[in-house]
């Protein structure tokens, strides 16, 4: 572990630490951010009324629209003279979301990323192939800083230019790679296509995040690159990558949320009521150590559940894989659908590969979904039995009838470096 004491802190003490840090954060918000002062006053609440994280549910959420309304810097709690870096997330509509960091914030960013890297299997002295994009996106620089602090040799490849990525993987021999899961798929496939034996690569660990993914893709990446692949999660509003991380020896049990900095809640997507551990809803974070850009009950829109794992190495709570973003959820004939659900069905059928796309269109009054998915090598894509088997499994597990089109290898778009969009919504064209 990178910070064993805090990573294994007894829960009671962790709670006390969170309570103290929350109190300090709320006072700073109240004093320094007009938006939060107004928010408290409109509810008739003073920071002193909130005794700890157990009282958080009494406070309203902060939403992405609040950040837009305060674009670019009005949510900053520190003057620019204290700010050392500014990032922005793409934002699909309108202005980007702008976030800032003091030196202390950057130090904490480095710590949580270093912690995450160790959790993923990385060690000081190893080389990190960093294929997250550098720039305003927090992925590249975020991983860079944490790996440097850990004592790794960082190779700042950034995303794209797959030829060069493969050359570096072969010649520089990085033991760890980080990128999006869809780009890891691309790299794995390109290795196979070029006859590069993954066993001959030095790379042992892949740290994958920035978009939802399931065991289907894990299996493909692990065999295709001969690595142990774990999940890293984060969002720029909270800090960037390193909000949570899956342990390489506890794969499939969820990702540790670094609770000494980010307090998580899961709430009902419709009512906003906090849900019991284990129930799925919207993930909400309160930052309890951030200086420049603290957020209270930030509505991430990401759907997952959280729970403690008594058998885990660390004490911090774990979050399940993200099913999708609430605003990316499709509603098909009254049934909610995330694309990761289709990915999970693909996992069960050996004759398919996790290269797929959902096409949604409106036929008369009904929304229809077509699944385009590639078959494995040597499989006949015209085989109606195979098509029907998938359609039947989808209908049985998800409850929606979908048209299935089996495609040959290469027919579905690949990630060229960053996040990949797996849904084509023709209703919006």
User: Given the rule CB under 6 A, which residues bind ligand ADP?
Assistant: 89-90, 137-138, 209-212, 231-236, 300, 302, 322, 325
- Distances in Å between the Cα of 61 and the Cα atoms of 64, 65, 378 are 10, 11, 52
281 sits in which H/E element: strand 281-287
Which of 85/325 has CB closer to ligand ADP? 325
Q: Least distance (Å) from ligand ADP to the CB of residue 98?
A: 11
Which of 174/254 has CB closer to ligand ADP? 254
Which of 216/406 has CB closer to ligand ADP? 216
Which of 87/149 has CB closer to ligand ADP? 87
CA dist., res. 376 & res. 393, Å (int): 18
Q: Least distance (Å) from ligand ADP to the CB of residue 37?
A: 26
Q: Which residues pair with 267 in a beta bridge?
A: 274, 282
Q: Using omega within 30 degrees of 0 as the cis cutoff, is the peptide bond preceding 72 cis? A: yes
3-state secondary structure 321-378: CCCEEHHHCEEECCEEECHHHHHHHHHCCCCEEEEEEEEEEEECCEEEEEEEEEECCC
Work out the angle between the directed axes of helices 138-150 and 103-119 (0-180°, nearest 10).
80
Half-sphere exposure of 358 (CA within 13 A, CB side): 25
Which of 15/64 has CB closer to ligand ADP? 64
Q: Least distance (Å) from ligand ADP to the CB of residue 19?
A: 26
Which of 25/214 has CB closer to ligand ADP? 214
List Cβ neighbours of 270 (8 Å cut-off, separation of 6 or more). Answer: none
Q: Least distance (Å) from ligand ADP to the CB of residue 366?
A: 29
- Distances in Å between the Cα of 429 and the Cα atoms of 199, 324, 359, 425 are 44, 21, 12, 7
Q: Least distance (Å) from ligand ADP to the CB of residue 135?
A: 10
Q: Least distance (Å) from ligand ADP to the CB of residue 303?
A: 9
Which of 212/224 has CB closer to ligand ADP? 212
Q: Least distance (Å) from ligand ADP to the CB of residue 263?
A: 16
């Amino acid at each position: 572990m990178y910070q064993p004491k805090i990573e294994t802190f007894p829960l009671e003490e962790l709670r006390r630490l969170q309570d103290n840090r929350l109190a300090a954060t709320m006072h700073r918000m109240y004093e320094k951010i007009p938006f939060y002062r107004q928010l408290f006053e409109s509810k008739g609440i003073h920071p002193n009324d909130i005794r700890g994280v157990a009282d958080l549910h009494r406070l309203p959420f902060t939403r992405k629209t609040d950040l837009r309304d305060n674009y670019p810097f009005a949510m900053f709690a520190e003057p620019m003279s204290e700010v050392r870096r500014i990032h922005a997330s793409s934002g699909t509509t309108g202005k980007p979301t702008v976030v800032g960091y003091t030196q202390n914030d950057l130090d904490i960013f480095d710590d949580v990323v270093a912690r995450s890297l160790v959790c993923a299997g990385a060690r000081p002295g190893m080389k990190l192939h960093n294929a997250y994009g550098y720039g305003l996106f927090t992925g590249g620089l975020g991983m860079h800083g944490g790996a440097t602090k850990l004592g790794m040799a960082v190779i700042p490849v950034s995303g794209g230019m797959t030829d060069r990525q493969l050359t570096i993987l072969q010649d520089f021999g990085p033991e760890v790679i980080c990128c999006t899961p869809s780009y890891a798929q691309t790299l794995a496939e390109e290795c196979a296509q070029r006859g590069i034996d993954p066993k001959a690569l030095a790379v042992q660990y892949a740290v994958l995040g920035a978009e939802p993914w399931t065991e289907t893709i894990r299996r493909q990446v692990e065999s295709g690159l001969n690595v142990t692949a774990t999940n890293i999660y984060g969002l720029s509003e909270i800090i960037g990558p390193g909000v949570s991380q899956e342990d390489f020896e506890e794969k499939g049990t969820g990702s540790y949320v670094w609770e000494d900095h980010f307090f998580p809640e899961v709430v009902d997507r419709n009512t906003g009521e906090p849900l019991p551990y284990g129930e799925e809803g919207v993930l909400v974070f309160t930052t309890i150590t951030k200086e420049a850009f603290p957020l209270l009950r930030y509505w991430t829109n990401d759907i997952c559940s959280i729970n403690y794992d008594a058998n885990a190495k660390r004490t911090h709570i774990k979050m399940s894989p993200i099913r999708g973003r609430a605003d990316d959820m499709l509603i098909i004939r009254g049934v909610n659908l995330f694309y990761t659900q289709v990915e999970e069905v693909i996992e069960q059928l050996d004759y398919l590969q996790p290269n797929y796309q959902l096409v949604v269109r409106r036929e008369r009054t009904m929304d229809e979904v077509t699944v385009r998915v590639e078959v494995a090598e040597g499989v006949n894509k015209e085989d109606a039995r195979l098509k029907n088997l998938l359609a039947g499994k989808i209908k049985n597990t998800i409850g929606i009838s979908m048209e299935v089109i089996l495609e040959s290898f290469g027919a579905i778009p690949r990630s060229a470096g960053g996040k990949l969009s797996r849904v084509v919504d023709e209703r919006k064209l």
